[in-house]
Amino acid sequence: MQNSDSSLFDQVMQLKAAEEFAAISALIPYSAFVGFELVIDEQGLLTILRGKASNVGNTTIPAVHGGVVGALLEHAGVMHIIHACDITRFPKIINISVDYLRPCIGHEDTYARGYLIKQGKSISNVRIEAWQTDQKRPVAAAHAHFLMG
């Protein structure tokens, strides 16, 4: 084994096996800062961004800062790979392209789900969608490439 028992990767793999995704979230300081949560539902892994006044980047609407929406999509993409794929190391983001579709209301929770479009030996392509009240009305969508091996 390349990783010792105490490595972060091994810890995350053990928590994944136990389906303790809240504990995985707790290992990521930025998750607590912006309010990311991870839950498992019947469709797989769901990433949640809690409505939080400190995430507002547009006080007129008020709406979540576009950067935080981008962060949510990236986070949901990485976490989807960790959840859905057999991996030997953490996926590393290569690039992400985000489309902003509707205002993301600041005091509401936002949900995001990843879809593995292609899993390659070295690179995977993931589509991620985020919505608030209606999954059919996404607030933002992204596609991203991740280095796997």
Partner 1 sequence: MAMTEKEHYPLSSIRSILQKLPHIEALGLTAMEFNRGSCLFEVKYAPHLVGNIESGVIHGGVITTLLDSAGGAAAFTVVPAGASVATLDLRIDYLKQAERERSILGFAECYRQTQHIVFVKGYAYHESPDDPIAHFVASFMVGSVGFAPNAKQ
Report if residue 72 touches partner 1, rule: CB under 8 A: yes
Report yes or no: 79 and 45 within 8 Å, Cβ to Cβ.
Answer: yes
> Which residues 76-135 are close enough to bind partner 1 by CB under 8 A?
90, 92-100, 103
52-71 positions binding partner 1, by CB under 8 A: 53-61, 63-68, 70-71
Say what the alpha-carbon torsion angle 36, 83, 96, 48 is, to the nearest 10 degrees.
-20
Token pair, residue 91, equals 């996926």
For partner 1, the binding residue among 2, 17, 29, 121 (CB under 8 A) is 29
Helix (H) or strand (E) holding 143: strand 140-147
Query: Where does this chain bind partner 1 (CB under 8 A)?
Result: 7-9, 27-30, 32-34, 53-61, 63-68, 70-72, 74-75, 90, 92-100, 103
